[in-house]
Every structure is written in C-alpha cells, then in structure tokens.
Structure 1
C-alpha cells in the first residue's frame, strides 16, 4: 500500500503532541508578567518615598529571591526565550503581521537588554553578598549615569510591551475580552507610567538630599564584566544558531516547491513545508488569522477545492477546532495545513471586497458569539394611519418615533441594530454581562413606553387614535458581526435568539399586549412576574417551546 507522504518536520509530531509547548510558553510568560508587575509596582512606590520603595523591595525579595522563586523566575526566562527561538525556527517565512513581528522582535531582544541590569544586581548579590538598594541604584542611574538610566527605562517599556502583546494575543479570542478591553488597556498603560514617574520622583528626592541617602562604596567584583560578556555570547549564540538551523532546514526542501492557487487567478509558489497561511502572507494575499496562526481559532480556515487527496491529516488541535465549528470534510485551517503537493483553496472568511475589508478591521467585525438581550418593538395599526396622511407627514411621525426609541435604547446602554419599516431591533450586552444586558433591555422598554406617551400627548391633535406599540424582550446567544455588502454593511446579530424575539413581538400583537418578556430574560434581570399571565410559545425551527410572560400594559411593571 502506498504510504502518504510525511509532512516536513512530522518526525517531531509525537514529541510536540506529548508536550503542550503553547501552554508552557503561556505559563512562563505569565510568571514573567507577574515579576514585571511586582517589580514595576515597587518602582511606583517612589511616588511615596524612597523609604517606601525600600520597604516594598523587602517583600519583593522575599517573593523572588527565595530558592523556589529564583528557580521559577530564571527557569521561566530561559524556557520562554528557548520557546521563542523554537517559534522562530518553525516559521517558514518571516513575513507576518506587524503585531506578531513586534512581539517576536521585542522578546528576542530582551535578554540582551537585561544582561547589564541582571549582572549589576542579581549576579553581583550572588557573588559578593552586596544587595544594591534603591538609594544606590537610583543614585547611580539618576545622578551618576543618566544615560544608563535612560536605557533602563527603555528596557522597562520593551519588557512590558512584549508582555502586553503576548497577553493580548492570548485574551483577544475570549468572548468577554471586548467588555473589559478598555479597563485592561488602561491598566497596561498605567503600570509602566507610574513605575517611571515613581523612579523619577525617587531620583529627585535623592538629588535634593544626597547626604541623607549616602551609601558606603563597595568594591565591584572583577568577574562581572566577564560574566556579562559570557551572557551576551550565550544568548547571541542561541539566536545565531537558530537562524542557521532555519537555513539548513530549508535547503532540502528549497528545490521542491508547492503551488497553492487562490481565487481571481492568484497563486503562491512556495517551498515544501510552508503552511497555506504562510503562503498567503508570502505573496501578500489578505488572509484573516485572529489567533496569529496558532490554531486557536478558525478564522483562517479555507475550503480546499482541488488537491486534498493525500495531504497531511489534521493535527489533534486542528481536528478539535474544526469539530467545534462543524466544518465540512474539505475545510482545513490554513495555519495548520502544510501541503505536500499542489492544491487550490478558497479562504472562507476573507473572500470578496466586503469580506476582506470588514474582517480585517478586527473586534466584533470578525464575528463572535455573545450572550445578548434583544428588544423588538413595532407600532400597531400604523399602516392604517399612513393611508390617511401625506407622505411628508408619515415620514415626520416615523422619524419622531424612531428618535424616541433610539434615545431610549441608547440612554439604557443598548445599540440600535436596524429599523425595519416601523419596527426596531435593539441589542444589549455587547460590552456588559448578560445580567446587566437584561436589565438594560427592560429599562429601554420602560423608557420607550414613557417616550411614546409623551409623543401622543404632544401630537394629540394630529392623531385620531394614540400611537400604540408592541414590544418583546428575549435573551440568549447570538452571532454578532459586520454583515451586509458595501455601504449597507453594519454591526448586526443573527441566530435563534433573534428569531425567537421576533416571534414574541408578533405574539404581543396577537394578544393586544404592550410587552412580552421571555422567561430567559426575566430570570437574568431578576424579575418576579408571577402576577402576570404566562404562556408557552412554540417557535418555528426551535425544538423546545419558549416560556413567556404577557404584560398587557408596561406601566404595570415597577422599575
């Protein structure tokens, strides 16, 4: 029987499968991020006093200079750097998005930037027992050698930026990330800023009273320069060896090239071993990859329309991702598929002008599932009202009604999805918890009813009968994303939750009620509606019926 060709580098696959390298890299990164956070917080105590910095340093040393902390910290440094070299080695091409390139470059540069600081503090303490305190370090970097102080400030920013990029790549696919993104960004900005200001305040305090912070001169070990040079050579050798290994690895495959065809007569001819995503980047084809090509999302998936036979099978991680989205048999992840012979693909989430334009903007435009609350509202009997009015009058009334609904929704914290005739669809929970979204939707319904009452009062002489409204509130999962074509593209939601809310709004009309609230939303909002009528509503296309509460008059609800 003919054996399928091996994927280049597949010899390491069992080893890679046995050891979760990505999780280890994440774990070591979190250790280093914790170290940076505690270290920078110690610097920020300079806003209080130099004595406060010294007091904080005592706790800092207890945490990181004990045997367990030392092994954890420096083991994480070496392992994290080694895994960064592994990632560099495994890349078939160095063309990548700017954020990924920045993270990789900053990470590889950090050991070289930190050598001087580490040898002057931690290694000196290990050799001589001399523990350089903040008065000595601040005096040296602020007064005696401000150039070295500026370099240390740059190292601080580089280290923190590298860590923040890593955390961003890890957290951005999380469904809750958009809710807390602004808070996280604010914290990420404040930490280095407060650390730098604290260090500067300490420098000014010492400069104002140098005799108060005088420290006796301590001879520096003459072994430190040699150790520093050795560390530079060690890390430099590792980096150079990795780049050389990349070159050596590519030589056997460079003579054999694979052609990957794309829509619109585009094609990439790349060496054997490139992934489809790397091929796309090589020739500049826009190809979405939210997780950065790590197989953690499905946004880079492609439909293989020719040449799928005898290609390497999906890895365990790729199989899990494809199973989660219920992908067809000819769908593969572009970042994981390394073809062994020519093939033709179609990027599923980046075809067409609108697809590329909207998906590459990031955020919710890429599409994500969220728990939302939905409000549907519609004017009742409005068709009969328009038959007796001039077109201008109809447009005027509708615009006043839409203004009333729009202000109510926005004041409650919601988002207007769309206007459909005289109906409105509003979403809540794009940046809040499901419980808060349910309460906001209820608040919006109450505001709409109050606004409509004012509208009827203001234009009582114009209406033969007051405007009446039917509303529905429901909560559940929905797919949120930029949908449409050209100028008609907007943020919208689709899914069973939207369909069920529309059905409940129709039920409100049938029952001559102002509001129907699903049990799902009532539970999340903490509503006790036991005094109202309950009805089980069958929903087309939904296996289970939906329990709902009928509210004839919204005014009967108490805020």
Structure 2
C-alpha cells in the first residue's frame, strides 16, 4: 500500500505539473504575439480560451493548480529535513511564492468577469498592468517565477532519462527563449496600445474606461485578501505541523561512533544530512544510483523490505541482503550502518557541487586502442627515443579522435580510451567512432612509413568499439579530477580490444554499434562472444584492417 501511495503521489504531482506547464506555455505564446500586434494577441486569447475557459478546461486547470499546490505542501510536510541542494530549495520557494504574485492577475482576469459578465480583453489587461510600475513589476516577477519553477521541476524529472542528453541543448534553448519572447511581447503590446489610445482614444469599438462599473472593487479586494490569507494559512499550517513533535524516535549509528537521533519516517540518508554527517549521494537521493548504499550491521531484523525501485538497483549491483540504499531505507527501529562508499575514499569534495560533478547517464560510443607488442619494440630503443615515438603515436591518436568528433578520455600506458557522443546524437556518435578507427589505421601506417628502418617490426594497433549507456561525470581527486565515463559499455569496449589481439586483427566492433550507425559489414568475420557477468553473448564483427570500413562509411565521415 505504501508503494502505491508513494507512486500515486508522484504521478499526481507530475500530471498536475504537466497541465500547468502546458497552460503557462500557451499563455506565454499568447504574450509573445504582442511582437506582431494587439490584434494577434487578442486573436490568440480567443483561441486559447476555447480550451481553458470552457467548463472542462477550467476544471482541469484549477483542479491541477489546487492539486499541485497541495501535493507540494504534502511533500514539504513529509520531508524529514529542510537541508537540500540549492536548486531543489529554489524550486520550492518559487512554487510557494507563485500564488502571491499571481493572485491580483487571476482576480482581474478570471474573477471580475464572473461578476461583471464581461470578459477581460488583452487591451484592458495590458492597460491595467502597464499603467502602474508596481503592476508591471509584479507581472514580470510572476512570469519569471512561474517559468523558473516549471523548468526546475521538468529538469528534476528529465535529467535521469536516457533521452535527455540528446535534447539537452535544445531544451535549455527553449527554456531561455520562451520567457524572453513572452516579456518582449508583453512590453511591445503595451507600448503599441499606448500609441493607439493616444491617437484614437480607444481600441477598436471599445474605449478604455478604467475599472468596470458593474464590479464592486471593494468586493474584489476582499476576495484577493481572502485568497492571500488562505494560501498563506496553508503554508503556515504546513510548517506548524512540521514543528509538532512526532511520535517515535530512532537512532542511526555510524562506525565512527556518531549517532543521528531522528523521528520515524526518516531515511538513513536524511538522518545523515540532519545530523551533518557527510553521506555520498550522486543522484540526489532519488534511488537512481547506488552510491549512498550502506551495510546494516545491526538492527536489520524487522525492517521494511526494499520497494521495487530499491530492489531493482540492489539486484543490478548484486548487493547482499544486508546492503540497503540509504535514500530509500526508512528504519522502523534503531540501526547501525556502515556507508560503503565514503566521501574520502571517493575523493568527493566540494567539486561535486560543480556543474559536471554529478554523474549523468548518456548513450555513447567507446573506442579502446592499444599498440601490440610495444614492450618488445621498446626494449631495443633508448628511453628518450621511446618517449619520442610514444608522443608521436599519442599525437596521431588524439588528432584521429578529435577530427572525428570524439574526445580522449585517457591514455593508459600505450593504450587510449576515447568517447564519442558527449555533444552529438547516438547515431552520429557511432559513425564518428567508426571514422576514428579508419583514421587510426591510416595514421599507424603513416607512422610506420616515418620510422621505416628504425623499427625492427612495424607498429600494429588493436581497436575495440562498442556503444551503449555509460555514466559520465567528474572523477578523481584535486587537480587530477577530470570528466570520464564508467559502466559496462567501457568494459565491453576494452574486452573487444583484447579480442582483436586474440584473432590477430586490427578491429573488433560490436554488431550493435554497426547497426546503430546504419551500416552493414556482411562478408566479414562475425563472432558471438561471451562476456563475464552476462548470460547473453555479444555479436561482434572482426576486421583485419579498420580501413575496410572506408567502403561502407558515408563520404563526410
């Protein structure tokens, strides 16, 4: 029942937020029509009102507004600690501020027409808003707050989705341009209205006469104050309920002797934060990673079983029964836990607060390459000559990767790891990695020609290519911190590079990557290989030379 109720709350919050976001987007688009003319704004208003001012539309809009606000208060009440990341705090503050900056506009645009029977038009509303600097400032603040709250909510929901990296730049661009065009439309419409009134003394057949004489303005003011008081009372009541002593206290003990005494309902992660005890949680406590996991060494009996999301993550990492996710585990009696990944062992300091500090999942193409038998070659060369040769080789690899659209993740001995798809779609990343393999093959041949006569045997490459999901994030310590990738996709590419060596070939590439690139390598050797930790086999193409890809790659590659 708990699982269902938690899931239902999240879905209700998401659906109501989506309805409100759709309304805001329509409203902002209507504002932006002011860049064309007042007539365009008014035509847009009539069109959108067919939906939002209809009985079903009104019920949908204000039902979503009430539900979203109540769910926000419910979430605030259930939150065991107010310690949270700044972005999450801003989302809550913006959301709770919205009713107070929007109330005057809502009363003027929706309540007054109910009493007067006359629908408010864009000319009348713009004239009212533009006639007072207070009204103009309030409207601008409301516009920015509403959009910022919606964007933050959407970002929290989208950031862990596998498709988000592909559309990230587009979404950020939309998030920036929509309020800019809405504000410009609002300003341009109001200024053009001033010119119309100055020249003609009215707008069309309707002259502006100030407030509607059919409306009791004192009553409107009472309604505004009542709504302010109602929303303010709900917020104050929520904080008052939070301050009431809660029944039941438990203790979460840590290996260094520290103890967090918290109320029932706290998760272990929330207990750590409430007590000021550092606790790693890369995904922010949403159960989307396992970095917060703890080993329960005392008090596990009688605790709630893992819910579906936690169980799936624990199963994926092969965790034993006494390991739980701290962000999902809510003890019903005192426990002793040991965080498995502590901040010192991970080197996670303040840099995790930087933009790229948190890991995020992306679908990428990965290239592993390595010089074959280089140790034997280096044995017959002077150390400085070996360094010179390696630097020329590294330069060739870097140029091949970067000219294909990828980035060098790291050099490992005489090997290299390259990533494709950090800023390009998955399909293009796969093509880029194949093009890089061709350039590497051509580059090693050019090096052999350059050092002809100096090497006892020519330089030979082994290349492994695979594509799939990986976690991209800042890893390391201090100045050694860099953007890198981890996951099964990286391990598989490394395994394929070794497979190329086993078959005395230059390239081993997964069939999945070739398929994603939209290519066909029929006629080459194809193997089904087993990978450690996987039941299914991996279909792989084996090519004696990566230059064979030149026949199937698009010319632009």
Change (3 A) 1:50 1:291: farther
- CA 1:320 to 1:420, structure 2 compared with 1: closer, same or farther past 3 Å? closer
Residue 224 (str. 1) matches residue 224 (str. 2): no
Within 5 Å, which residues of 2 pair with 1:2-13? none
Bigger Cα displacement from structure 2, 460-469 vs 70-79: 460-469
Greater mean deviation of Cα atoms: 466-475 or 479-488: 479-488
Q: Say if 1:227 and 1:407 are closer, same or farther in 2 by CA, change over 3 A.
A: same
- Provide the secondary structure at the position in 2 that maps to 1:175: coil
Q: Residue in 2 aligned with 1:373?
A: 365
Greater CA deviation, 495-504 or 217-226?
495-504
CA contact (8 A) 1:46 1:199 kept: yes
What RMSD in Å do the two structures reach over aligned CA positions? 3.0
Q: Distance in 1 between matches of 2:313 and 2:435?
A: 39
Pair 86,16 (structure 1): closer, same or farther in 2 beyond 3 Å: farther
Q: Do 1:354 and 1:486's aligned partners in 2 also have CA atoms closer than 8 Å?
A: no
Q: Secondary structure at the match of 1:153?
A: helix
Following the alignment from structure 1 to structure 2, what is the Cα–Cα distance between the partners of residues 460 and 478?
Answer: 40
Counterpart of 1:84 in structure 2 is 72
Describe the SS at the equivalent of 1:416: strand
Partners of 2:315 and 2:452 in 1: how far apart? 59
Gaps of 5+ in 1: 1-12
Q: CA deviation at 1:540?
A: 5.6
Q: Distance in 2 between matches of 1:92 and 1:408?
A: 52
In the superposition, relative to structure 1, how do residues 308 and 445 fare at CA in structure 2: closer, same or farther (>3 Å)? same
1:442: how far off? 0.2
**Structure 2 residue aligned with 1:280:** 272
Tell me the equivalent position of 1:392. Answer: 384
Q: Which moved more, 1:224-233 or 1:17-26?
A: 17-26
Write the distance in 1 (CA, Å) between the matches of 2:416 and 2:3.
56
CA separation in 1, counterparts of 2:472 and 2:132? 54
Task: Give, in angstroms, the shift of residue 165 of structure 1.
Answer: 1.3
For residues 313 and 266 of structure 1, what CA distance do their matches in structure 2 show? 25
Structure 2 residue runs of 5 or longer lacking an equivalent are: none
The normalised TM-score by structure 2 is 0.87
- Report deviation, 1:167: 1.0
d(CA) in 2 for partners of 1:77, 1:541: 48
**In structure 2, C-alpha distance between the alignment counterparts of 1:130 and 1:321, rounded to whole Å:** 57
Render the CA deviation track for 1:406-446: whole Å, top value 9, x for unaligned. 12212222232322221212222345444322211101111
Q: Per-residue deviation at 1:365?
A: 5.2
Aligned partners of 2:254 and 2:66: how far apart in 1? 41
| Structure 2 CA distance for aligned equivalents of residues 547 and 320 of structure 1 | 27
Partner of 2:91: 103
Q: Which moved more, 1:351-360 or 1:375-384?
A: 351-360
Instruction: For residues 161-195 of structure 1, give each alpha carbon's deviation from its aligned partner in whole angstroms, at most 9, with x where no partner exists.
Output: 11111111111222332332232222111111111
Match of 1:468 among 454, 460, 474: 460
2:236 paired with 1:240? yes
Say yes or no: does 1:70 pair with 2:58: yes
Offset at residue 466 of structure 1 (A): 4.7
> How far 1:543 sits from its partner (Å)?
4.4
Contact between 1:173 and 1:290, CA under 8 Å: does it hold in 2?
no
- Pick one of 166, 176, 187 that aligns with 1:179: 166
| 1:33 Cα deviation after fit | 0.7
Contact 1:288 1:360 in 2 (8 A): no
Q: Is the CA contact 2:147–2:179 (under 8 Å) kept in the aligned structure 1?
A: yes
Judge which range, 520-529 or 490-499, deviates more: 490-499
Deviation at 1:74, TM superposition (A): 0.4
2:348 partner SS: helix
Deviation of 1:530 after TM superposition, in Å, equals 2.0
1:109 to partner: Cα distance: 1.7
Change (3 A) 1:540 1:335: closer
Q: Which residue is equivalent to 1:520?
A: 512
Residue in 2 that maps onto 1:417? 409
Map 1:13-92 → 2, pairs under 5 A: 17=5, 20-92=8-80
Q: In the alignment, what sits opposite 1:7?
A: none
Measured in 1, the distance between the counterparts of 2:379 and 2:327 equals 58
